[in-house]
Amino acid sequence: MFSDQTFGVIAYNLSALIVSVTCIIYKLIIPSRLKFRNRLFNSLIIILAIDAFSAIYGEIIRGYDMAHETALFLRNLNEMLYFSSHFAIAPIIARYTMLKCGVEHKIRGWRVVAVHLPFLISEFMILSNPWFHLIYTIDDNLVYSREWGVYVVYIIGGLYFILSAVFIYLYWDLLKRLEQIAVIFFYILVLIGTLIQMVFPNISCELLCEAIGAMGMMVVLENDDDRRDYTTKAYNRNALINDMMIYFKYKRPFDVIFIDILNEEILRRLLTYTDYEKILTEVVKFLKSLSEKYDVYRVGVNSFFVVCPEISEKRAKKTAEEIYGRFKEFWTYRGRIATLNAKVVQAGTEDGIGDIDKLFKVHGSGKNVEKDGPIFYDEL
CATH number at residue 82: 1.20.1070.10
Q: Does residue 62 contact residue 6 with C-beta atoms inside 8 Å?
A: yes
Report pLDDT digits (tens) over 42-91. 999 999 999 999 989 888 887 677 787 888 888 889 989 999 999 999 99
Domain that holds residue 105: 4-223
Task: For the chain, give the mean pLDDT.
Answer: 88
Q: Given 167, 199, 223, which residue is the final one in a domain? A: 223
- Do both 218 and 253 map to the same domain? no
Higher per-residue pLDDT: 302 or 27 = 302
pLDDT tens-digit readout, 306-345: 999 999 999 999 999 999 999 999 998 877 788 999 999 9
> Sorting pLDDT into bands at 50, 70 and 90, what band is 376?
very high
If asked whether residues 190 and 322 sit together in one domain, one would say no
Q: What is the mean pLDDT of residues 265-281?
A: 88
- Chosen domain end from 180, 197, 223: 223
Per-residue CA distances from 202 to 17, 47, 307, 375 (Å): 18, 22, 51, 67
Answer whether residue 251 is part of any domain.
yes
What 3-state DSSP class applies to 195? helix
Judge if 163 and 186 occupy the same domain: yes
For residues 43-55, b (16+ Cβ closer than 10 Å) or e, as one string? bbbbbbbbbbbbb
In a domain, 88, yes or no: yes
Contacts of 90 (CB under 8 A, 6+ apart): 156, 157, 158, 160, 161, 164
Chain segment 200-218, per-residue pLDDT in tens = 767 778 888 888 888 888 7
- Encode 266-317 in three state secondary structure: HHHHHCCHHHHHHHHHHHHHHHHHCCCCCEEEEEECCEEEEEEECCCHHHHH
> Is residue 232, in this structure, part of any structural domain at all?
no
Q: Are residues 193 and 267 in the same domain?
A: no
Are residue 203 and residue 292 in the same domain, yes or no?
Answer: no
CATH code for the domain of 289: 3.30.70.270
Same domain, 74 and 196: yes
User: Last residue of some domain: 223, 257, 287?
Assistant: 223
Q: Within this chain, do residues 320 and 178 fall inside the same structural domain, yes or no?
A: no
Q: Are residues 257 and 190 in the same domain?
A: no
Give the mean pLDDT of 103-125.
Answer: 89
Residues 97 and 102: their CA atoms lie apart, in Å, by: 8
